[in-house]
Structure 1
Amino acid sequence: MGTVLARRALLAAAFGALATMAVPVWAGQAAFAQAVATAAAKDAALTQFYRQRNYEPLWTGNRDRARRKALIQALEDAGAHGLPVARYDPEVLEAAFRAARSDAGRGKAEVLASRMFLQYAQDIQTGVLEPARVVSAIKRAAPRRDRLAQIDAFSKSTPRAYMRALVPQTPEYERLLKEKLHLERLLGQGGWGPKVPGGVYRPGAGGSGVVALRNRLIAMGYMKRSASQVYDAGMQKAVQQFQLDHGLTPDGVAGPGTLEAINIPATTRLGQVVVAMERERWLGPNRGKRHVLVNITDFHARIIENGKEVFATRSVVGKTAPDHQTPEFSDMMEHMVINPTWNVPRSIAVKEYLPLLKRNPHAASHLRVVDSRGRTVSRGSVNFSQYTPQTFPYALKQPPSDGNALGLVKFMFPNRYNIYLHDTPSKSLFSRETRAFSHGCIRLNDPFEFAYELLSKQTNDPQGLFHARLKTGHETVVELTPQVPVHLIYRTAVTQPKGRTRYLPDLYGRDARIFKALHAAGVELRAVRG
């Protein structure tokens, strides 16, 4: 607190120094204009911005005090948002303002302030990193605003209100920010205390391990203070809630998986929150009043309407092998296909089925072999052994059926990655704790109910409409009106409107790479005392 007050005193002095300078006659201020032009020379947006305003200052004029103050205050708070504060160090900017004793000095300070403003504005509004450069499976670009348009808009705004509006306004971001500040204060007090020794702790157990477990749960907020040294009903309930919050089977037994999660330090959880805040900035605020949200790490697909969950179902996502991982992107769900044909992706056809067909041309008999003209080919007429993955000239298709790999319905948001949501005949996988078994598409546990909810906006009888198409046995396309935005995301820290933040495993290791990149960019975790 003392550092901030001291900094603001220096800033007041800097503002005072700027205020003592005479208001320039712009036509004659060649030194200021030349300094601005030189400092902005390699930045096309700033060059155009100052040229179109005839080099009138934005920050260093006598009437610009409110802008300077709003910027400095925002930069002082950058660390709270998990941003790389060295990119826009307010002390450096204050020093530049204090040193601005000439028109040339003011010109340099002017451009420095504009650069810092633009860097901060872009970072806090749409993220520090370029997603695909860090993780190639993130197929979304941060929604960057044009830099010239950004600074031009600021120049015409109320400064403090504009700076506040840069902060993402989504409920998720606001809750993540609160969780970040909570964890920072917790770290300032020493974290969650000693780890729990390994073992398996069940109701009725006692001993030092149970006491350590009790203390850890109390520190994490899952139990009220207690002197009990027995694994009683209260502890069992706390363990079950912890398990639910961490994607674990809520059996109330603290075994190896639960203890591994419970012993993860608060610093690691803080890193997850910082990454989640960055991811929230990438996603942007315009998600659609009604949209489908699939969190890959959470193994669920949800329909969100006006910010509230109206439907949820378990999902199966891509395997952890690099070429099977589910990518992250947003698109528009246009239609569903009832009684779908499975058009086997070429990668699967040549990698998995061609070797089988070479050994036995009648293998995988549930699939039709189709030539380039769409005709079904007799397997007996084909010498599969002559083909390589590069020369295989056929497509493989599975007709509609109860045993179809896509089940009885698929939900299409056409994209270059060939990813969609679909039914599956393999229902047993949905009972697993970790559900990463597909080639990349998302399988749904309750696809019919998912379809009913999607259709509920376009018919009074969604169930009747769906089953009328289903019972024909023929492949049928049902257009969605209106179309529904789909967001495939990856979050290992997820807040809840009521309750604690959920922390999930980093299934594909993506968040670890993002945190490493954030750290390299200058983001630091911090502990807050007091």
Structure 2
Amino acid sequence: MHLSFPSPRARARSGLTGLLLLIAALTMALPGLARAQVTAFNQAVATAAAGDRDIAGFYKAVNYEGIWTGKDDRARRAALISALERAGDHGLPTARFSPDALKAKMDATKDPAALGRLEVEISALFLDYARSLQTGLLTPSRIDEGLVREVPYRARQSYLVNLMKSDPRGFFNALAPRTPEYTRLMKEKLRLETLIGRGGWGPTVAATKLEPGASGPSVIALRDRLAAMGFIGRSATQTYDAEIQSAVQQFQLAHGLSPDGVAGSGTLKELNASPERRLQSVIVAMERERWFNRPRGKRHVLVNLTDFKARIIDNNAVTFETRTVVGANQSDRRSPEFSDVMEFLVINPSWYVPRSIATKEYLPMLQENPNAVRHLEITDSNGRRIDRSAVDFTSLTEKTFPFAMREPPSQGNALGIVKFMFPNRYNIYLHDTPAKSLFSREVRAYSHGCIRLAEPREFAYALLARQTADPQGYFQSVLATGRETRVNLKQPVPVHIIYRTAYTQADGRTQFRRDVYGRDARIWAALAKEGVALRSVQG
């Protein structure tokens, strides 16, 4: 039977007119009961889809035919149900993506109009699941002002279009991030769920501090908990011996603690953390990995704020690593999370004081003493250096302060001898610092937001090695001039500033870090509100 549809121009008319034309054509083409059924289904699809522009656009393009509910759609339905059954494996809310609820609706729906409404409902569920799995359940910027990462969202309608063009199971298998990190996080999630199902790590350690040579019940609890975690073999020792000390050091390294082998208050706090808390960190890390579902670059710089480390990654391998100092845990100093591209470095940099620092920190000092902070130049809007004695700083406020402040190049410059630039609207970059003592601390959150490097020269050498045969010699020759000099990178390098309290290693333990800004706690609360729950696996 040949169906006569409206012309392309008629189909292009928006709203009810286009829909009525389509229904009229279907009605004229089909006799009796079949005509009523087709008309009811298509009309129900069009009406149900009208409230969602993307879904409505898709169904209009396919003449309001079904893609889920027909006899020829079995493979697509089966693939969707199979995918929903694995939603919990990805840390997604199982009630929201319940395959049993969907199957029950499918089995109970027979009426053509109800089937049309169900058709659209399934597409809405599919779009929700596909985007949640590929680019995250949450919108980062709604959780924390420091989550400024641009999530690589795909057009919603493209999921429906591409599903129609693909093998259904292959399409669903390709949705989640296809990174080694995501795969390893999923394995760690299952390991922790199994551990919880078996009772966890046993009793916590009731002590405030334990040192080598100690003995007694608390040492036994320490020994047993380290053994349950896999840091030491089973033994009967009741003394804090060399073997326990070594195990404590390995635990400390895996949790970003100073590896002194002493179970102090900080170490015991992390040691007593429950597997449920660690599982939360892993699920949050998986959500963050979905937000970050984009190519990183064969060579890129990765800064993990919670780990206080900056790394150069070449073809998935760490080729350089240095300690960092990151933004202090204060509302206007926390380092944001985002990605950009490093284009150049500046040797012998000037420090152009951010206005917030000039007005909040230095203006009060100048009001007390106009000759304060003499190492800083104060200039007017035309860049002319002003005579401090001619200015009444006490008459100025944060809003009316009209000057700029600059620290010229020097060894004591706040930026040290080099800064690494990836121009961005947050005015965040990597740089040297004269405050070297901070790098010896365990928690290194002290800056105004920029990332300070413990080994900036070596970092520069590693970057410049791609474009000069003698990167160290070149760097030192420019440095010796004392002049502020911009050096462009011939191959710009992506920079990714991330925040992971749980991350994996290709050939080692999953690493856990403290939630220095409380961001992961807020993300977990938001995930739980969406229905994400911890699971345990019996076995």
Q: Partners in 2 of 1:84 and 1:517 — Cα distance?
A: 12
2:143 corresponds to 1:140 = no
2:309 corresponds to 1:307 = no
Deviations 1:357-388 (A, max 9, x none): 11111110100111111111122222212211
TM-score w.r.t. the length of structure 2 is: 0.92
2:470 corresponds to 1:458 = no
Q: Partners in 1 of 2:463 and 2:379 — Cα distance?
A: 33
**1:57, distance to aligned residue in structure 2 (A):** 1.6
Contact kept? 1:293, 1:303, Cα under 8 Å: yes
Partner of 1:492: 501
**1:27, distance to aligned residue in structure 2 (A):** 11
Which stretches of structure 1, 4 residues or longer, exceed 6 Å deviation after superposition?
24-28
Deviations 1:493-517 (A, max 9, x none): 1111112111111001000000000
2:131 corresponds to 1:122 = yes
Aligned-residue RMSD, C-alpha: 1.4
Deviations 1:235-260 (A, max 9, x none): 11110010011111100111111111
TM-score w.r.t. the length of structure 1 is: 0.94
Match of 2:121 among 112, 131, 136: 112
2:422 corresponds to 1:413 = yes
Partner of 1:286: 295
Partner of 2:38: 29
Q: Partners in 1 of 2:436 and 2:35 — Cα distance?
A: 74
How does 1:8-157 map onto structure 2 within 5 Å?
Answer: 29-157=38-166
How does 1:64-463 map onto structure 2 within 5 Å?
Answer: 64-463=73-472
Deviations 1:296-316 (A, max 9, x none): 110011111111111110000
Give the residue type in structure 2 aligned to 1:106.
L
Partner of 1:21: none
Partner of 1:8: none
**1:28, distance to aligned residue in structure 2 (A):** 7.4
* Structure 1 counterpart SS, 2:174: helix
Give the residue type in structure 1 aligned to 2:415.
L
Deviations 1:160-189 (A, max 9, x none): 011000011111111111111011011111
2:511 corresponds to 1:502 = yes
Q: Partners in 2 of 1:205 and 1:437 — Cα distance?
A: 35
**1:461, distance to aligned residue in structure 2 (A):** 1.8
* Structure 1 counterpart SS, 2:306: helix
Deviations 1:37-95 (A, max 9, x none): 12212111111111111122211121211111110011011011110122221112101
The percentage of aligned residue pairs carrying the same residue is 59
Stretch of structure 1 that moved more, 464-473 or 152-161? 464-473
Distance 1:213 1:395, change over 3 A: same
Contact kept? 1:130, 1:141, Cα under 8 Å: no
Give the residue type in structure 2 aligned to 1:440.
G
Q: Partners in 1 of 2:37 and 2:216 — Cα distance?
A: 83
* Structure 1 counterpart SS, 2:529: helix
* Structure 2 counterpart SS, 1:471: helix
Partner of 1:471: 480
Contact kept? 1:203, 1:253, Cα under 8 Å: yes
Contact kept? 2:213, 2:241, Cα under 8 Å: yes
Q: Partners in 2 of 1:234 and 1:105 — Cα distance?
A: 68
Deviations 1:412-439 (A, max 9, x none): 1111111110000111110000101101
Give the residue type in structure 2 aligned to 1:414.
P
Stretch of structure 1 that moved more, 507-516 or 53-62? 53-62
Contact kept? 1:318, 1:326, Cα under 8 Å: yes
**1:204, distance to aligned residue in structure 2 (A):** 2.4
Q: Partners in 1 of 2:131 and 2:51 — Cα distance?
A: 18
Give the residue type in structure 2 aligned to 1:290.
R
Give the residue type in structure 2 aligned to 1:411.
F
Contact kept? 1:118, 1:150, Cα under 8 Å: yes
* Structure 2 counterpart SS, 1:324: coil
Contact kept? 1:294, 1:489, Cα under 8 Å: yes
Partner of 2:24: none
Q: Partners in 1 of 2:129 and 2:190 — Cα distance?
A: 20
Q: Partners in 2 of 1:239 and 1:197 — Cα distance?
A: 16
Q: Partners in 2 of 1:479 and 1:29 — Cα distance?
A: 65
* Structure 1 counterpart SS, 2:54: helix
Contact kept? 1:170, 1:285, Cα under 8 Å: no
Equivalences, count: 507
